Every structure is written in structure tokens, then in C-alpha cells.
Amino acid sequence: MSVMLSKRANVFYLEHVRIKQKDGRIVWINDSLSDFAKEFEPYYNLPDKNTVFIMIGKGSSITDAAIRLLSESGVVIGFSGSGGTPLLSAVDPVFMLPQSEYRPTEYMQKWCEKWFVESKRIEMAKCFLSYRIDQTIKSWSQMSLTVPSESIALFKKSIERSENTMELLISEAKWAKSLYRYLANLYDLNDFRRAEGKMVKSSKEEKVNSYLDHGNYMGYGYATATLYTLGISFAFPLLHGKTRRGALVFDVADLFKDAYIMPLAFEYGVKKSKDSEFRAAVIKYCNDKKLLDNTFSFVKSVAVS
């Protein structure tokens, strides 16, 4: 029996592998081995019934039989570059989704009832931002970090006063910059500037930026899995551009990126840890904090309230 998506424990990033279906199971083998070694190299099982999503990196292949079995298990699939970024399966951070005719419709219908009324859409966006603040405060305190009180007060006041999406986006940008500035000062990264997609890791600042990208794409995976399962279209965002197909994925990922991914990216980037160590830390932290459960519950509550 398949585990409910919100209860699943596994997220995978695989590169230089061949993924296939073998005896009714999903398996992979290291594709960088010699043909002789492959004769003796065991296949590794991928527990598809307990997997949320997989990111398939460079030098990899997957068979149509494996895709079919993963789809039947409701696993979301993304093709990415080295280290998990950037996603290559689409022009925006949206993974390839299983095709199911049995996803719920109630949440999408309730979402649209509000979305087409601007005042209600703004209120939904404000709920998202308020939840984002609460999650950041809670998570950072458990990491022995303190969110600057002045940043909290300013962001809350800005949310309350904002009357349109643009004002909310400006408030959000100021909030994020204040968190980056705080963490950069905390870790003595005087030259830190947020720069997306540079794919270089020679300095600590560049390593942190790389891990922010890496972790954000993992966040998009969790967000995609949530929206796919609830049956809410990515084309109905609250804050991000309404002309981008995956904009709601950004909105949902922002619910927890500040809280979970940002502090871990600084912590592991400063230590110049391996990509696999950072990725494992993010997955473990998200599992320990029941990220999917909490995100499912919150997005559903916004839709139906």
C-alpha cells in the first residue's frame, strides 16, 4: 500500500545512474562503472511507495517502465543539473507530475472562488506571509538563532498596511534582505551578496549562494508535491507573477525557505561541506519538523477558510 504523500520520508537526488524497473521494483545502478564492474555491481532499490520526489542529475537515464511505475506511486520527478540545480524539465521550477484523474477538486474550486476576488486574494497572500514569519521565528529558535525583532515588527506592519500585491512583494523583499544581512554578519561573511544561479563555489560566500539555490530547488519539490496532491493549479499564485506557469510553487516554497533552508545553507556553506551533506541535512530537518504535514494543513486551511 502506498504511503500518503504527506507522510512519506524519502527525497532522492541521483546522478550518473541508470534507473529502471526490475521485477516490479524501481532500481538504479551506478552508470559510471565499467561494463565489467556492472556485472557485479548490485542494483539499489528506490522505495517508490514511500518517496515524495526524486531529482535526476547529470549523466543519468530512466526507462519508460520506471516512469510508469513511479507515476502509479504518485512520485514527482524533476530533471536537474549538477548538485540539484537548476531544474531542467521546465522553464520554471515545476517538476514532472504523475497523471492521475483521482486527485481532489474541492481545494481548487475553493481556491478559485477567492482568487478571482482581488480583496480575498490579497488576504490569502497576507495569510501566507504571516505564516512565513511564524515558521521562521519557530524554526530559528530551535536552531538557537534569533530573528531580529525590528525585522519582524517592520514586516508585520508592512503586511497590515499593504493594499496590493506590489506592496506585499516589496515588504517581502525587505524581509528577506534583513535575514540575509543578519546571517551574513553572524557568520562573518562581509562580502556576501545574494546571487542566484552562479554555480561557483570557490569562496564561502559562493558556497552559501550555491546551497541557497540547491535548497530552494528542493523546496520547490516539496511545494510541487503539496499542490499536486491537493489538486490546486500552479497557475493561480498569490504573490509571484501571474504570467508564470509555476508561480504558486514559489509562493508555497516561500512558506518554509526562510525557516529551514536559509539558515542551513549558511551553516553548511561556511563549513564548505559537501553537497550531499547539505542535502541530507535539509531532508532530515524537513522530515523531523514534519514539513509536508504542516504545509498540507496550512494550504488546505487557506483554501477552505
The CATH architecture assigned to 5-79 reads: Ribosomal Protein L15; Chain: K; domain 2 (3.100)
- What's the pLDDT score for residue 41? 63
pTM of the model: 0.89
Mean pLDDT of all residues in 61-80:
91
The backbone torsions φ and ψ at residue 69, rounded to the nearest 5 degrees and listed phi first, read -70, -40
- What's the pLDDT score for residue 101? 66
The CATH architecture assigned to 106-304 reads: Up-down Bundle (1.20)
- What's the pLDDT score for residue 27? 94
Higher pLDDT, 237 or 89: 237
Which one-letter DSSP state was computed for residue 272?
T
Q: What is the Rg, in whole angstroms, of the alpha carbon atoms belonging to the chain?
A: 20
Query: Alpha-carbon distance 194 to 209, whole Å?
Result: 6
pLDDT of residue 191 exceeding 90, the answer is no
Domain boundaries defined on the chain: 5-79, 106-304
Higher pLDDT, 300 or 91: 300
- What's the pLDDT score for residue 166? 93
Query: Alpha-carbon distance 199 to 210, whole Å?
Result: 6
pLDDT band at residue 88, thresholds of 50, 70 and 90?
low
**DSSP string over 204-215:** HHHHHHHHHHHH
Q: Are strands 44-46 and 25-30 parallel, antiparallel or unpaired?
A: antiparallel
Taking the CA atoms of residue 286, residue 171, residue 246 and residue 125 in that order, the dihedral angle to the nearest 10 degrees is: 80
- What's the pLDDT score for residue 98? 80
pLDDT tens track for 205-247: 999 999 999 999 999 999 999 999 999 998 899 998 765 666 8
- What's the pLDDT score for residue 79? 87
Percent of the chain with pLDDT over 70: 89
Check: CB of residue 85 under 8 Å from CB of residue 13: no
Taking the CA atoms of residue 240, residue 242, residue 243 and residue 246 in that order, the dihedral angle to the nearest 10 degrees is: 60
Choose the weakest-confidence range: 58-62, 252-256, 276-280, 301-305: 58-62
Query: Alpha-carbon distance 54 to 91, whole Å?
Result: 18
Which candidate, 79, 81, 65, places its Cα nearest to that of 25?
65
- What's the pLDDT score for residue 33? 61
Kindly report the average pLDDT of the chain as a whole number.
Answer: 89
pLDDT tens track for 1-17: 578 888 898 999 998 89
Is residue 64 classed exposed, middle or buried when 0-12, 13-18 and 19+ CB atoms within 10 A define those classes? exposed
Query: Is the Cα torsion angle 250, 254, 260, 261 positive or negative in sign?
Result: positive
Check: CB of residue 129 under 8 Å from CB of residue 167: no
pLDDT tens track for 120-171: 999 999 999 999 999 999 999 999 999 999 999 999 999 999 999 999 999 9
pLDDT of residue 55 exceeding 60, the answer is yes
